[in-house]
């Protein structure tokens, strides 16, 4: 389709609709049972069967997508939902598509249609769901790496774990292209870790950056105003700098991204659910991994090591954090073959609370 | 049509079983020069390991947020973009229907608009919870937006304002739902649209709505204002579904071992016990259900922290109580700049059954945002503000009484001035007497 002719038009005032009411886009069986569901089970991986108190039943087939979808892919999903489903779908927080039907006979043909068109059915229960991720080089203004490419590589490697329910509990992954961590907390997270202080282009700072705001942004007070070559600029105390990159968004001349020194770190044990333990934050367990497009094999290898150890050793219903709570950190490093280094001992705010103030010691 | 740039690195991402975004972008490049050049720039990033977008100011008429401007920085020696058709590649953040439900009809209409005015690339959904219409020229942003707006959709948040919220599938399809997440989501967000469209807060402010303590929206870690469903009364049980669970999970003998391993041993407060059927206690706070001829589960609900674990394992046989509502946790965020913060409890329970209940949530949200607007420093999130001023001044400003559910344990140091103690005890007792 070619672009329509550009004409001189007067822009319209926006109508502040707010969040649309989902009722207009909901499967009619969902619509008439809002707030009245009784239970669900999973007839097979990738399929949820929900039963309402009214006796109504629905089957939902969940499938993975690439999240960044071209209109043709979305239309393909619409074709599948029109032909094999009942014209409705929704998306999960991890960009899986869910097509719901009220007729159980439609489930198998729907699964077949999704898989034939390249959408793997799975992601339910104790499987590894799609990676929650960010924009990366495709669209972000501050990324240290790409997102979609890392995710594609990881999900190719974890394809069977997505399609089957063979893990101790659900496994959530995320990736993030800088330490802001838009990908979020996860059982296993891959996050950019810069290893060198920003390189400053002193010619540009005065014009592009609000210097006091940049000084204030630094979490370790490592930035101070300075006159460089007669121009107002900023300088970084490189001994104090923790290479977090927080100064880069408000001041692009403080370039933090580097083709070699921007590395990746892997984190484990983030859990948002309150099930069993309180929610937990993830912990860094590996760093210094090369930023290696197009497929980041070193990152995939570390993630797979952790997944394999968890799959083999985790007990039913243990999330990664529960598993590590039981086996302890020494055993975690032993089982995954990762190396515990001094960099993994916290020295930032609240660090003291992460030290072992007991003789609960494992051998 | 412009010829494709060679993309040997991106081509590697067309291999393997998972759906490929590269294949999708290549399909778009057949009709869109913008996408030919986008692939050129992305391939360059894969070669050099650097990003090439910078922000700027692009907006739609009448709003101050919701468009993420992107201009290429990849230029030749004369300052001309190397990939000119993708030199402007802006994103529209659009708020999806609560719970991300779509008819194929509405999705097709959205696709048509984006094919007409944009690149044809849409993320369902971004980490902010928005539909991300990615890739439009500065000129076309407005025209795409007007057609999206005509369908009843609105732009999402960006910058220092209220952001697009997220809510789980919840009441629409989940038995664990403790309130109508979509209604609460819409009631709150649609009452603060001015904070979304014309951001003027100290920093971003995010709401997330999860229907139960499984918190599928990650609200505790990722939102300033987390609304998490919970119930006050006893866990409900269903004898028939318990029997079916036993049949499916090892039969009368095997299932008992599984119940011990999977349920009893994993209860964080030991509120659930396996008992001989004839020894099960009765009482106001006891839930129980028979598993076999001999064995039953007994739950002391006063000891239960509503963690969801046993309910997740034995869905249907066990279920949240009937007296449902939500807890409000304030202040979750990631590291910058005082270290990671979880949201913390400020309202242990509130009902959210009716419009009137939801109005109370809306009023609370307004109070919290107003206090945040008046008291946070620039670029300070509300969790950091509370860390700086203390929880008590925050509670007093909002008009909430302290509650032991707000802490893991009481203070463990003596460094506090307590000369108001007696008056405070008297005040609380008087208030309690008034309620009773």
Q: What is the pLDDT of residues B247-292, one digit of tens each?
A: 999 999 899 999 999 999 999 999 999 999 999 999 999 999 999 9
Which percentage of chain A shows pLDDT scores above 90? 97
Query: pLDDT at residue B435 above 90?
Result: no
Can A22-116 and A199-253 be said to share one CATH topology? yes
Q: What are phi and psi of A274, to 5 degrees?
A: -85, 0
Residue A98: in which H helix or E strand, if any?
A: strand A97-101
C-alpha distance from B148 to closest chain A C-alpha (Å)? 10
Same domain, B250 and B108: no
Indicate if the alpha-carbon torsion angle A346, A352, A353, A354 is positive or negative. positive
- Where are the domains positioned within chain A? 22-116, 136-195+259-354, 199-253
Residue B139: closest CA among chain A residues belongs to which residue? A6
A205-213: long-range contacts (C-beta < 8 A, 24 or more apart)? A205/A231, A205/A232, A205/A233, A205/A234, A205/A251, A205/A253, A205/A254, A206/A231, A206/A232, A206/A233, A208/A251, A208/A252, A208/A253, A209/A234, A209/A250, A209/A251, A209/A252, A209/A253, A209/A254, A210/A250, A213/A250, A213/B378, A213/B379
Query: pLDDT at residue A2 above 60?
Result: no
Look at B95 and A66 and tell me if their CB atoms are within 8 Å. Answer: no
Look at B214 and A273 and tell me if their CB atoms are within 8 Å. Answer: yes
Rounded to an integer, the average pLDDT of B353-366 is: 98
Contact residues, chain B, for A156 at CB < 8 Å: 15-18
Same domain, B342 and B403: yes
pLDDT at A9 (0 to 100)? 86
Choose, out of A138, A158, A264, the residue to mutate when testing the contact with B (most B CBs < 10 Å): A138
Residue B15: closest CA among chain A residues belongs to which residue? A156
Same domain, B343 and B221: yes
Nearest to B124 by CA among A29, A63, A45, A124: A63
In a domain, B159, yes or no: no
C-alpha distance from A225 to closest chain B C-alpha (Å)? 19
Query: pLDDT at residue B45 above 90?
Result: yes
Give A24-53 pLDDT, tens digit per residue: 999 999 999 999 999 999 999 999 999 999
CATH class entry, domain A22-116: alpha beta
Look at A11 and B61 and tell me if their CB atoms are within 8 Å. Answer: yes
Residue A99: in which H helix or E strand, if any?
A: strand A97-101
For chain A positions 258-297, those within 8 Å of chain B (CB to CB) are 259-260, 262, 270, 272-277, 279, 281, 291, 293-295
Look at B54 and A141 and tell me if their CB atoms are within 8 Å. Answer: yes
- Distance separating alpha carbons of residues B72 and B49, to the nearest angstrom: 15
Query: pLDDT at residue B1 above 90?
Result: no
Residue B73: closest CA among chain A residues belongs to which residue? A141
Look at residues B95, B119, B150 and tell me which one is the last residue of a structural domain. B150
How many CB pairs (< 8 A) connect A and B? 378
Rounded to an integer, the average pLDDT of B371-375 is: 98
pLDDT at B253 (0 to 100)? 87
For chain A positions 150-209, those within 8 Å of chain B (CB to CB) are 152-153, 155-156, 159, 179-185
Which percentage of chain B shows pLDDT scores above 70? 100
**Complete DSSP assignment for A167-224:** SSS-B-EEEESSTT-TT---SEEEEEEE-SPPEE-HHHHHHH--HHHHHHH-TT--EE
pLDDT at B3 (0 to 100)? 96
Please report where in the chains the tokens 């999900």 appear, as a residue.
Answer: A155
In a domain, B156, yes or no: no
Contact residues, chain B, for A129 at CB < 8 Å: none
Rounded to an integer, the average pLDDT of B403-417 is: 97
The residues with which B133 forms a beta bridge, in sequence order, are B92, B122
pLDDT at B345 (0 to 100)? 98
Q: Which CATH architecture has domain A136-195+259-354?
A: 2-Layer Sandwich (3.30)
Q: How far is CA B76 from CA B45, B72, B274, B331, B346, in A?
A: 15, 11, 73, 45, 55
In a domain, B91, yes or no: yes
Look at B24 and A119 and tell me if their CB atoms are within 8 Å. Answer: no
Query: pLDDT at residue B19 above 70?
Result: yes
Look at A50 and B173 and tell me if their CB atoms are within 8 Å. Answer: yes
pLDDT at B313 (0 to 100)? 98
- Distance separating alpha carbons of residues B5 and B177, to the nearest angstrom: 50
Structural domain for B125, as ranges: 8-150
**Token code pair at residue A100:** 């719901």
Look at residues B150, B180, B200 and tell me which one is the last residue of a structural domain. B150
Model confidence, pTM: 0.97
Look at A276 and B307 and tell me if their CB atoms are within 8 Å. Answer: yes
pLDDT at A5 (0 to 100)? 58
ipTM metric? 0.96
Same domain, B348 and B207: yes
Same domain, B124 and B173: no
Give B165-206 pLDDT, tens digit per residue: 999 999 999 999 999 999 999 999 999 999 999 999 999 999
Measured at the alpha carbon of residue A265, what is the angle toward residues B123 and A290, in degrees to the nearest 5?
90
pLDDT grade for B51, boundaries at 50, 70 and 90: very high
State the fold for domain A199-253: Alpha-Beta Plaits (3.30.70)
Nearest to A306 by CA among A345, A270, A275: A270
Look at A35 and B180 and tell me if their CB atoms are within 8 Å. Answer: yes
Domain count of the fold of chain B: 3
Same domain, B282 and B397: no
């Amino acid at each position: 389709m070619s672009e329509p002719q550009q004409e001189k038009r007067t822009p319209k005032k926006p109508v502040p609709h707010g969040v649309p009411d989902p009722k207009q886009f909901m499967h009619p069986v969902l619509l008439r049972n809002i707030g009245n569901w009784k239970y669900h089970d999973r007839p097979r991986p990738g399929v949820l069967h929900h039963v309402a108190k009214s006796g109504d039943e629905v089957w939902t087939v969940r499938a993975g997508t690439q999240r960044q979808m071209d209109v043709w892919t979305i239309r393909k999903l619409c074709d599948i939902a029109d032909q094999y489903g009942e014209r409705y779908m929704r998306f999960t927080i991890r960009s899986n598509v869910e097509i719901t039907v009220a007729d159980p006979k439609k489930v198998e043909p729907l699964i077949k249609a999704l898989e034939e068109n390249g959408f793997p059915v799975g992601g339910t229960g104790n499987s590894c769901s799609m990676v929650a991720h960010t924009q990366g080089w495709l669209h972000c203004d501050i990324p240290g790496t790409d997102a979609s490419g890392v995710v594609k590589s990881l999900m190719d490697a974890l394809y069977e774990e997505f399609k089957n329910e063979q893990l101790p509990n659900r496994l959530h992954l995320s990736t993030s292209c800088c330490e802001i961590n838009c990908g979020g907390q996860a059982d296993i997270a891959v996050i950019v870790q810069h290893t060198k202080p920003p390189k400053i282009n002193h010619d540009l700072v005065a014009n592009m950056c609000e210097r006091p705001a940049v000084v204030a942004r630094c979490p370790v007070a490592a930035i101070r105003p300075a006159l460089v070559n007669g121009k107002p600029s900023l300088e970084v105390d490189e001994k104090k700098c923790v290479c977090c990159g927080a100064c880069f968004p408000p001041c692009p001349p403080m370039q933090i991204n580097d083709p070699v020194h921007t590395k990746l770190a892997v984190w484990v044990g983030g859990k948002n659910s309150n099930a069993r333990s309180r929610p937990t934050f993830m912990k860094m367990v590996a760093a210094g991994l090369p930023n290696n497009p197009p497929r980041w094999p070193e990152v995939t290898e570390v993630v797979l090591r952790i997944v394999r150890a968890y799959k083999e050793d985790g007990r039913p219903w243990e999330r990664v954090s529960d598993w590590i709570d039981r086996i302890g950190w020494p055993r975690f490093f032993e089982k995954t073959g990762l190396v515990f280094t001094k960099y993994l001992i916290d020295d930032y705010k609240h660090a003291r609370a992460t030290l072992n103030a007991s003789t609960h010691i494992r051998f | 049509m412009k010829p494709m740039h060679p993309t040997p690195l991106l081509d590697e991402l067309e291999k393997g079983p998972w759906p490929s975004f590269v294949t999708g972008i290549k399909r778009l490049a057949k009709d869109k020069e913008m996408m030919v050049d986008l692939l050129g720039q992305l391939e360059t990033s894969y070669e050099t390991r650097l990003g090439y977008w910078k922000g700027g100011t692009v907006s739609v008429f009448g709003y101050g947020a919701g468009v993420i401007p992107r201009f290429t920085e990849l230029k030749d020696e004369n300052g001309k973009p190397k990939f000119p058709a993708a030199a402007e590649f802006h994103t529209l953040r659009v708020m999806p229907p609560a719970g991300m439900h779509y008819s194929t009809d509405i999705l097709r209409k959205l696709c048509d608009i984006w094919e007409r005015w944009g690149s044809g690339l849409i993320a369902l959904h971004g980490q902010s919870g928005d539909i991300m219409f990615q890739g439009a020229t500065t000129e076309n942003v407005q025209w795409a937006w007007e057609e999206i707006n005509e369908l009843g959709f609105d732009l999402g948040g960006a910058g220092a304002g209220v952001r697009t919220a997220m809510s789980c599938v919840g009441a629409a399809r989940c038995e664990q739902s403790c309130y109508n997440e979509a209604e609460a989501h819409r009631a709150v967000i649609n009452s603060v649209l001015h904070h979304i469209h014309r951001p003027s807060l100290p920093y971003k402010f995010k709401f997330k709505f999860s229907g139960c303590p499984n918190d599928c929206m990650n609200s505790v870690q990722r939102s300033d204002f987390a609304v998490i469903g919970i119930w006050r009364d006893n866990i409900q049980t269903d004898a028939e579904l318990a029997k079916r669970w036993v049949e499916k999970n090892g039969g009368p003998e095997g299932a008992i071992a599984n119940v011990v391993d999977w349920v009893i041993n994993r209860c964080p407060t030991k509120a659930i016990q396996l008992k001989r059927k004839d020894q099960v206690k009765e009482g106001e706070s006891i839930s129980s259900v028979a598993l076999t001829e001999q064995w039953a589960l007994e739950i002391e609900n006063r000891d239960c922290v509503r963690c969801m674990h046993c309910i997740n394992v034995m869905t249907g046989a066990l279920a949240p109580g009937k007296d449902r509502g939500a807890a409000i946790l304030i202040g979750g965020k990631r590291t910058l700049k005082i270290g990671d913060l979880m949201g913390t409890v400020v309202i242990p329970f509130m009902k959210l059954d009716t419009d009137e209940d939801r109005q109370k949530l809306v009023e609370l949200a307004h109070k919290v945002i107003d206090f945040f607007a008046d008291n946070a420093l620039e670029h300070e999130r509300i969790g950091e503000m509370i860390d700086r001023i203390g929880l008590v001044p925050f509670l007093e400003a909002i008009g909430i009484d302290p509650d032991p559910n707000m802490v893991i344990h009481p203070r463990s140091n003596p460094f506090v001035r307590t000369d108001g103690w007696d008056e405070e005890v008297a005040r609380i007792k008087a208030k309690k007497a008034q309620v009773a």
